[in-house]
Amino acid sequence: MDELQAERMAAENLGLVHACANRFRGRGVEYEDLFGAGCVGLVKAARHFDAARGFAFSTYAVPVILGEIKRVFRDGGSVKVGRTLKERARKAMLERQKMELSLGRSPTIGELAERLGLDVSEAAELVAVSQPVLSLTGEADGETRELDVPVESPEEQMVDLLSLRRVFRTLETRDRKLIYFRYFEGLTQTVTAGRLGMSQVQVSRREKAILRLLRERMLG
Query: What percent of the chain is predicted at pLDDT more than 70?
Result: 75
Write down the pTM of the prediction.
0.41
Would you identify the CATH topology of the domain 154-219?
Answer: Arc Repressor Mutant, subunit A (1.10.10)
Residue 136: predicted pLDDT: 46
Residue 149: predicted pLDDT: 44
Structural contact between residues 127 and 112, judged by C-beta atoms closer than 8 angstroms: yes
- Name the average pLDDT for the chain: 77
Which range is least confidently modeled, 17-31, 84-98, 135-149, 153-167?
135-149
Chain segment 90-120, per-residue pLDDT in tens: 888 888 888 888 877 777 777 888 888 887 6
Residue 1: predicted pLDDT: 59
> How sure is the predictor about 151, in pLDDT bands with cuts at 50, 70 and 90?
very low
Q: For 161-183, what is the mean pLDDT?
A: 84
Chain segment 31-50, per-residue pLDDT in tens: 878 888 888 888 888 888 88
Chain segment 4-24, per-residue pLDDT in tens: 777 778 888 888 888 888 888
> How sure is the predictor about 196, in pLDDT bands with cuts at 50, 70 and 90?
very high
Could you state, in order of their start, the residue ranges of all structural domains in the chain? 3-136, 154-219
